[in-house]
A = this chain, B = another copy of it.
Amino acid sequence: MSKEITSREVDYSQWYNDLVLKAGLADYSAVRGCMVIKPYGYALWENMRDILDKMFKDTGHVNAYFPIFIPKSLFEAEEKNAEGFAKECAVVTHYRLKADPNNKGKLIVDPEAKLEEELVVRPTSEAIIWNTYKTWIQSYRDLPILVNQWANVVRWEMRTRLFLRTAEFLWQEGHTAHATKEEAVEETTRMLEVYADFAENYMAMPVVKGVKTANERFAGAEDTYCIEALMQDGKALQAGTSHFLGQNFAKAFDVTYVNKENKSEYVWATSWGVSTRLIGALVMAHSDDDGLVLPPKLAPIQIVIVPIYKGEESKILIDGKANIIVQNLKQKGIRVKYDNADNARPGWKFAEYEMKGVPLRIAIGARDIENNVVELARRDTKEKTTVPLDGLEERVQLLLEEIQSAIFNKANQYRAEHITEVNTWDEFTKTLDETGGFVSAHWDGTSETEESIKTQTKATIRCIPLNNKEEEGFCILSGNPSKERVLFARAY
């Protein structure tokens, strides 16, 4: 076990913070609640972004960019949305600094440069985008609009955590406009499926697809669909949301189109997003007390080669062999790093790449070259094997696939053990406290009961799973009749 980070057993929350810092994913910054995404963390984000971007394009979307500022009058146009975000808005009120007359070398805000109308730093872009769509949409021929934006957003959260909840974060936000309700609903669920596909097949993180209760809905949405993942401490994490916005924004911004029958109609909308929060989810879902465990499909480095040499002569010999291996692996499209830096011992390097979650490690010494073998170590299971150099690339390729599956299966197994059906209040609270995870229980469908459960247990309804089976039952708190179970959990 690494001495550098707190173990999960001792303090899961501290383990996470230690890990994010030690693995070089992110850093605290001088700005309250904002983080610095370090190169290794950003490389991970680039991989995630590029895959998601391709998935969006493959489903017909294009990227665009809208202003970071939203004039207050636009921001408040869709009242529910505005109300939902008003409490956490960073607001620009001035556009100039000037020299402080009383303090040489210091600056003050120039009171004469006060904006006539304050600008909200976007916490989400529906308002500015729908105000723009108004000018883009006249006829049914202009629809659908399938636009995505990669951007930074700001939400002035009071309690922040690296990646999981930061005042500024990076995300993508899709904003689509449709002629009919059916098309918009179809888009909402299509993008939910894209998110689930990405979470499971790239992040190796099983998710439950579901719909939020009215209480947990995005401000301004008619329906919020979500994917919910489970972390190793038994807490749930909302990993992505896709909103059916109905005609709320179309009405707020008066966006209408002329249909084929020459009648004017309001446009239907969706929005959907995932953020750098996914990096937090990825860390929490798979990693261990020695550091990150990254799924090969997203790992910035998929395999690292560490030479074990004594003296310059053996180094030259190993360098030569290693460079051939590197070339061969690269030709297979494998992201490989050869670390022959001489400022650290092999043991230190091993620990470092374990911390960074590199899925595979090759150690190669002079004796190995004589025997035509290398030592291959898996990050996820810590297994080491000596394997022949012949056919190494194919073996690595297969192993990376195997690791990808193994990480998913492990997380899936954990989740299977942490979805518990309960039928009474006692079972419910006991399960939350002792087992954690998702608790599947009957609920009477009222916001009052939902709130009361939250107040008493800190558990929220994560979602009503899609394709939920109908089942008669009685609410665990009120005892009132219920037609289906919902998933509760304590959550990030």
- How near does chain B come to A140, taking the closest CB pair, in angstroms? 11
Query: What band does the interface of chain A fall in when counting residues whose beta carbon is under 8 Å from B?
Result: 35 or more
Chain B residues within 8 Å of A37, by CB? 64-66
Q: Which residues 105-147 of A have a CB within 8 angstroms of B?
A: 105-107, 109, 118-121, 128, 131-132, 135, 141, 147
* Complex Cα–Cα for A81 and B361 (A): 46
**Is A194 engaged at the interface, CB distance under 8 Å to the other chain?**
no
* Complex Cα–Cα for A37 and B43 (A): 25
Closest chain B residue, CB of each to CB of A156: B95
0 or 1 for each of A75-94: is its CB under 8 Å from B? (1 = yes) = 11001001100111111111
Contact A96 B154 (CB under 8 A): no
Contact A91 B86 (CB under 8 A): no
- Choose among B45, B118, B170 the residue that contacts A109 (Cβ–Cβ < 8 A): B118
Closest chain B residue, CB of each to CB of A145: B39
Decide yes or no: A141 and B31 within 8 Å by CB, A66-B36, A68-B168 being known contacts: no
**Is A1 engaged at the interface, CB distance under 8 Å to the other chain?**
no
- How near does chain B come to A467, taking the closest CB pair, in angstroms? 34
Chain B residues within 8 Å of A135, by CB? 27
Contact A68 B105 (CB under 8 A): no
Decide yes or no: A31 and B71 within 8 Å by CB, A39-B64, A42-B63, A62-B42 being known contacts: yes
Interface of A is mostly: mixed
Contact A119 B31 (CB under 8 A): yes
- How near does chain B come to A334, taking the closest CB pair, in angstroms? 17
Chain B residues within 8 Å of A364, by CB? none
Contact A106 B70 (CB under 8 A): no
* Complex Cα–Cα for A132 and B93 (A): 27
Chain B residues within 8 Å of A63, by CB? 39, 42-43, 46
Contact A39 B97 (CB under 8 A): no
0 or 1 for each of A49-66: is its CB under 8 Å from B? (1 = yes) = 000000000000011111
**Is A262 engaged at the interface, CB distance under 8 Å to the other chain?**
no
* Complex Cα–Cα for A29 and B36 (A): 30
Chain B residues within 8 Å of A67, by CB? 29-31, 34-36, 168
0 or 1 for each of A358-382: is its CB under 8 Å from B? (1 = yes) = 0000000000000000000000000
Contact B132 A36 (CB under 8 A): yes
Contact B30 A96 (CB under 8 A): no
**Is A455 engaged at the interface, CB distance under 8 Å to the other chain?**
no
**Is A345 engaged at the interface, CB distance under 8 Å to the other chain?**
no
Closest chain B residue, CB of each to CB of A158: B95
Contact B107 A74 (CB under 8 A): no
Contact B69 A34 (CB under 8 A): yes
**Is A397 engaged at the interface, CB distance under 8 Å to the other chain?**
no
Closest chain B residue, CB of each to CB of A98: B86
**Is A395 engaged at the interface, CB distance under 8 Å to the other chain?**
no
Contact B95 A92 (CB under 8 A): no
Closest chain B residue, CB of each to CB of A87: B96
Decide yes or no: A120 and B97 within 8 Å by CB, A38-B64, A63-B43, A107-B72 being known contacts: yes
**Is A17 engaged at the interface, CB distance under 8 Å to the other chain?**
no
* Complex Cα–Cα for A151 and B407 (A): 33
Contact A93 B94 (CB under 8 A): yes
- How near does chain B come to A337, taking the closest CB pair, in angstroms? 13
* Complex Cα–Cα for A269 and B37 (A): 20
Contact B43 A156 (CB under 8 A): no
Contact B88 A91 (CB under 8 A): no
Contact A31 B69 (CB under 8 A): yes
**Is A152 engaged at the interface, CB distance under 8 Å to the other chain?**
yes
Contact A89 B79 (CB under 8 A): no
User: Can you name 7 A-B pairs with beta carbons within 8 Å?
Assistant: A36-B65, A42-B63, A43-B63, A65-B170, A67-B168, A82-B97, A86-B107
Q: Which 3 A-B residue pairings sit nearest by Cβ, starting from the closest?
A: A34-B67, A39-B62, A37-B65
Interface residues of A (CB under 8 A from B): 27, 29-31, 34-39, 41-43, 45-46, 62-72, 74-76, 79, 82-83, 86-99, 105-107, 109, 118-121, 128, 131-132, 135, 141, 147, 151-152, 154, 156, 168, 170, 343
Further contacts, 9 of them, CB under 8 A, given A89-B96, A96-B156: A29-B67, A30-B128, A36-B64, A65-B170, A68-B154, A69-B90, A76-B107, A83-B99, A93-B109
